């Protein structure tokens, strides 16, 4: 099977729409998965071969909404009808002009200058002791490399040029292999026989640090056993500013601390298996609309405009946690940050990431997020992915041979190239990938482009005809007690959140009625398409349609399900068939009028409904990445009301289970008297049915808590919570004017009462909080200790090499579209004065907030210990999530007196298992960073020293039971 036609439309951003009628199967055991090239949409970067100023645009901004087959039919219809073509072009021009706020007429107008200050040169890697040995080895290896070898390591070979979604060339002479990079954050994209773990949002809902780590470790092990060097996850950007954001589900929740802790635990697990983890997307990629140039018909991506304090305290916070955890790769995002593309933003990559946060690994671009050549290297980009440049699968790289030319003509300093290469090689050593017992150097044992055993290595090139074994079908899911399904099931179960349980409706007994007074078996009816298998979990490419039970969102962060246990199947097994009669109706339009008995004859009705979203290159059911609203989809609200009204002829009890990518507004039916219980089950992955059956029947006591706030309407989240669906200019501008106030912080500030607050979740038992004790460890001080000096980075000969070194070897057979590091003749090297960016000649002083991985070491020192006693006062064992929030409301004098602080912010959590009647003492360590704010004048973290910092402990953001002071 040839996956290339579809995959070329895939990774991070081409235009593709799929509706139910066009659902295309994608992986193991599915046939004819892909359309031909001629039926695909026009390439989103087609403009690069045209005069985009003087010629009419090829696509309107709305073309992303049209199914590819319909567009192809339109092209064929109009191909020989000039009048039709003229009308279509005129309509597109008018529509585009209106939609883009006059943008078509502004194409001749340059985007505004970037608002991020310049920060040059790139700080070299190898300045912290934790990486010293790896950099020493890397220095010795890089010193022996030729220019083409160095360029090979920093440039991808091109889309579908290699078996992984991203591939680099080797440095053959020194024995350094090409690297394989593969999505994604919840499993191995395009891989067979691998686990479909619960999504990040479900992991966040567990609030369980151990499970975060174990899931990461299992994920890393599967990647290693499949021959992957670099795993493209975890994801902490988007943070969740907009509850309808399409990719929020890939992250861990709408709070920087929850995201940061979950990410750091995941990274530790992945990298303990020797696989390089990638924290993404750095930074400000909070919505799918307009995230990428030309994806929506506009020549530039949108700009996320974020102030300095907000960037540090909110969107950058979890990235600092990731760097502190030793993450070896960071992926820069598509969109602009403060009107400078993230992958070319020197302040972001050089100043904040590499200087202030002390990042020692390498920065890779999101796929085609690189928008410049030399400039992006100077700004701190270390690896171009997938290597193609501005257009998919064309082989016209911004680096590759162009990078060789830039070094040879003096535009790019040799020292910058050496640092780029050394960062990649040091990361390889840091993970122990030179250990042949773990990495054989032969690359992936599966193909991202075909399901067949035999195939070509480089299907992106028509020249590659050499078929080999590309799929070895190695099962990496583990067996017995080491089966990764065990971890997947536990995460799915603990990530299930019980938000309503009137009259202790749950748990249901497996044996039905507690006595024989009813005279007949209990009758349970299961309703909703989300309860069943639909057409199968892998029916649509990258899970790009909402059918059957929802286990994952869609896009590059999705995977092929090895199996998917449906709720209906699991519940039928869970109940005692001799005492409970279970029927299921896996549709959102059951025949209630034609067959009213299917509803009237039930004692208990369980309704499964959902809400889906995903990455912007795909659309389904009118949803173009970002959700259109926060309501249930596919008629879910109407189904819930119908079932609640008619269950047991009005006398039955209804349970609602929601699988969703994020918050869902439930106020249309939440107070219905027949709805006794409501469960937010998030995105549970392959063990979906088993997890919900365990919760409903009491095999597992629910312990999940909401990683976001559930409001009564989208308006409850404030102006900053709304996706920009219509462009407000040729470069869409999204101003993060709300600053620190998203999700529960916004609800607190403006006194908005949520339906269910952040951190909320019910249990089948009860917990008591007592004996809060705050112990001072260090005295307060306004600023952290001075920045430590660090160690010396590697040193190289920075002399420009002999140009002949980069010439294409004689007799070398090139594959078309493959990205090579070579030049074909010496005359290609053009000398002249390179237009270096403004501020390039100004050397920046190191930030006093830096000095080690994660920033100044003093930021991570403990300044206060907190302890609290938790007692299980209920009748069954259960797990409680103890949450710690801090407030600065008593800081009335000194440096923090005039600073605007949120009412409270999460700063820690611990999950503890307690047997009936058991008491345990839970401990927290509060760091300087936890109790500081970012001062934009001092450009450092400042701790208020006058007054007291308030510490609150409780069961949710709106259920804080004990208060202490530091």
CB neighbours of 389 closer than 8 A, spacing ≥ 6? 368, 370, 396, 397, 398
CB-CB neighbours of 55 under 10 Å: 9
Question: How far is the C-alpha of 580 from the C-alpha of 655, rounded, in Å?
Answer: 16
Supply the DSSP symbol for 625.
S
> Taking CA 300 as the corner, what is the angle to CA 818 and CA 111, rounded to the nearest 5 degrees?
125
Q: Which residue has the tokens 């009816």?
A: 525
Nearest to 688 by CA among 546, 536, 540, 570: 570
Spatial contact of 573 and 510, defined as CB atoms under 8 Å apart: no
How far from 505 is each of 446, 732, 873, 880, CA to CA, in Å? 48, 49, 19, 20
Q: Which of 366, 612, 626, 748 is catalytic?
A: 366
Question: How far is the C-alpha of 681 from the C-alpha of 657, rounded, in Å?
Answer: 7
Quote the tokens at residue 424: 């990649």
Nearest to 685 by CA among 558, 572, 574: 558
Helix (H, G, I), strand (E, B) or coil at 298: coil
* Helices of type H across 589-707: 597-600, 636-646, 688-696
Give Rg (Cα) of the chain: 28
Spatial contact of 516 and 506, defined as CB atoms under 8 Å apart: no
Quote the tokens at residue 960: 């804080």
CA dihedral 596, 597, 599, 601 (to 10 degrees): 150
**Exposure b/e, 96-133, CB count within 10 A at least 16 = b:** bbebbeebbebbeeebeebebebbbbbbbbbbbeebee
Helix (H, G, I), strand (E, B) or coil at 62: helix
Spatial contact of 322 and 260, defined as CB atoms under 8 Å apart: yes
Q: Is 201 exposed, middle or buried (0-12, 13-18, 19+ CB in 10 A)?
A: buried
* Helices of type H across 519-655: 567-574, 597-600, 636-646
Q: Which residue has the tokens 């100044």?
A: 856
* 366 a catalytic residue: yes
Q: Is 396 exposed, middle or buried (0-12, 13-18, 19+ CB in 10 A)?
A: middle
Question: How far is the C-alpha of 284 from the C-alpha of 338, rounded, in Å?
Answer: 10
HSE (CB half, 13 Å, CA atoms) of 7? Answer: 28
Q: How far apart are the first and last CA of the chain?
A: 63
Label the pairing between strands 733-735 and 303-305.
Answer: parallel
Spatial contact of 496 and 682, defined as CB atoms under 8 Å apart: yes
Q: Is 688 left (phi over 0), alpha (psi -120 to 50) or beta?
A: alpha
CB neighbours of 175 closer than 8 A, spacing ≥ 6? none
Spatial contact of 416 and 836, defined as CB atoms under 8 Å apart: no
Question: How far is the C-alpha of 929 from the C-alpha of 324, rounded, in Å?
Answer: 13
Spatial contact of 417 and 145, defined as CB atoms under 8 Å apart: no
Q: What is the set of active-site residues? A: 366
């Amino acid at each position: 099977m040839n996956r290339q036609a579809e995959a070329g439309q895939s990774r991070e951003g081409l235009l593709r729409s799929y509706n139910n009628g066009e659902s295309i199967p994608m992986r193991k055991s599915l046939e004819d998965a892909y359309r031909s090239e001629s039926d695909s949409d026009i390439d989103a970067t087609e403009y690069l071969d045209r005069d985009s100023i003087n010629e009419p645009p090829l696509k309107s901004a709305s073309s992303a909404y049209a199914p590819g087959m319909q567009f192809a039919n339109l092209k064929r219809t109009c191909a020989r009808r000039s009048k039709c073509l003229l009308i279509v072009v005129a309509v597109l021009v008018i529509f585009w002009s209106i939609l883009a706020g006059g943008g078509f007429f502004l194409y001749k107008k340059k985007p505004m200058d970037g608002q991020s200050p310049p920060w040059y040169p790139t700080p070299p890697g190898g300045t912290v002791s934790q990486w010293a040995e790896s950099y020493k080895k890397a220095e010795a290896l890089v010193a022996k490399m030729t220019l083409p070898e160095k360029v090979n390591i920093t440039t991808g070979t091109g889309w579908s040029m290699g078996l992984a979604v991203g591939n680099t060339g080797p440095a053959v002479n020194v024995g350094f292999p090409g690297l394989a990079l593969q999505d994604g954050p919840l499993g191995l994209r395009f891989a067979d026989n691998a686990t479909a773990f619960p999504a990040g949002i479900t992991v966040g809902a567990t609030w369980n640090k151990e499970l975060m780590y174990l899931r990461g470790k299992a994920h890393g092990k599967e990647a290693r056993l499949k021959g992957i060097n670099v795993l493209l996850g975890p994801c902490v950007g988007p943070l969740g500013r907009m509850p309808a954001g399409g990719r929020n589900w890939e992250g861990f929740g709408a709070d920087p601390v929850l995201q940061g802790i979950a990410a750091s635990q995941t990274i530790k697990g992945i990298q303990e298996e020797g696989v390089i983890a990638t924290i993404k997307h750095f930074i400000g990629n909070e919505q799918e609309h307009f995230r990428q140039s030309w994806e929506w018909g506009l020549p530039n991506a949108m700009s996320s405009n974020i102030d300095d304090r907000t960037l540090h305290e909110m969107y950058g916070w979890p990235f600092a946690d990731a760097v502190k955890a030793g993450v070896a790769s960071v992926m820069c995002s598509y969109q602009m940050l403060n009107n400078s593309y993230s992958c070319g933003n020197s302040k972001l990559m050089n100043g904040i990431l590499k200087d202030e946060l002390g990042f020692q690994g390498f920065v890779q671009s999101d796929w085609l997020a690189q928008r410049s050549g030399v400039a992006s290297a100077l700004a701190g980009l270390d690896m171009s992915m997938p290597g193609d440049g501005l257009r998919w699968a064309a082989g016209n790289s911004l680096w590759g041979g162009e990078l060789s030319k830039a070094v040879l003509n003096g535009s790019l300093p040799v020292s910058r190239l050496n640092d780029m290469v050394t960062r990649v090689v040091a990361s390889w050593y840091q993970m122990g990938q030179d250990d042949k017992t773990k990495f054989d150097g032969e690359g992936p044992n599966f193909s991202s482009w075909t399901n067949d055993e035999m195939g070509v290595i480089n299907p992106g090139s028509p020249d590659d005809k050499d078929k080999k074994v590309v799929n070895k079908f190695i099962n990496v899911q583990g067996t017995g007690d080491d089966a990764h399904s065990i971890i997947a099931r536990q995460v799915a179960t603990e990530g299930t959140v019980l938000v309503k349980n009137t009259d202790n409706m749950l748990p249901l007994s497996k044996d039905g009625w507690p006595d024989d007074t009813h005279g007949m078996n209990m009758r349970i009816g299961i309703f909703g398409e989300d309860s069943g298998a639909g057409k199968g979990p892998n029916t649509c490419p990258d899970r790009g349609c909402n059918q059957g039970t929802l286990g994952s969102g869609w896009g590059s962060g999705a995977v092929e399900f090895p199996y998917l246990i449906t709720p209906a199947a699991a519940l039928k097994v869970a109940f005692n068939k001799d005492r409970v009669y279970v029927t299921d109706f896996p549709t959102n339009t059951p025949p209630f009028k034609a067959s009213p008995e299917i509803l009237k004859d039930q004692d208990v009705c369980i309704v499964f409904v959902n809400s889906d979203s995903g990455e912007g290159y795909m659309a389904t059911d009118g949803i173009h990445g970002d959700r259109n609203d926060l309501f249930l989809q596919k008629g879910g609200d109407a189904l819930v009301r119908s079932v609640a009204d008619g269950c047991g002829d009005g006398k039955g009890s209804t349970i609602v289970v929601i699988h969703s990518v994020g918050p869902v507004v439930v106020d249309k039916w939440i107070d219905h008297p027949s709805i006794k219980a409501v469960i937010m089950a998030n995105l549970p992955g392959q063990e979906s049915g088993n997890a919900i059956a365990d919760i409903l029947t009491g095999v597992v006591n629910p312990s999940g808590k909401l990683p976001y706030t559930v409001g009564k309407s989208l308006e409850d989240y404030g102006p900053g919570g709304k996706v920009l669906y219509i462009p407000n200019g040729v470069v869409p501008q999204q101003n993060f004017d709300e600053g620190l106030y998203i999700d529960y912080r916004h609800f607190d500030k403006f006194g908005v009462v949520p339906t269910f607050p952040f951190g909320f979740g019910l249990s089948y038992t009860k917990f008591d909080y007592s004996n809060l004790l705050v112990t001072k460890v260090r005295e307060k001080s306004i600023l952290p200790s001075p920045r430590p000096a660090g160690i010396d980075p590697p040193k190289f000969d920075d002399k420009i090499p002999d140009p002949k070194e980069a010439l294409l070897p004689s007799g070398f057979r090139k594959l078309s579209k493959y990205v090579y590091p070579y030049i074909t003749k010496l005359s290609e090297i053009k000398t002249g004065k390179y237009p270096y960016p403004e501020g390039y000649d100004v050397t920046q002083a190191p930030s006093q907030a830096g000095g080690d991985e994660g920033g100044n070491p003093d930021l991570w020192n403990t300044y206060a210990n907190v302890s609290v006693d938790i007692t299980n006062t209920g009748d069954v064992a259960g797990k409680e999530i103890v949450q710690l929030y801090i407030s600065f409301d008593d800081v009335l004098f000194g440096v923090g007196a005039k600073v605007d602080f949120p009412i409270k912010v999460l700063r820690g959590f611990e999950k503890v298992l307690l047997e009936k009647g058991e008491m345990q003492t839970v401990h927290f360590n509060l760091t300087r960073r936890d109790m500081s704010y970012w001062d934009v004048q001092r450009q450092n973290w400042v701790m208020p020293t006058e007054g007291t910092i308030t510490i609150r402990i409780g069961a949710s953001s709106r259920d804080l039971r004990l208060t202490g002071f530091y």
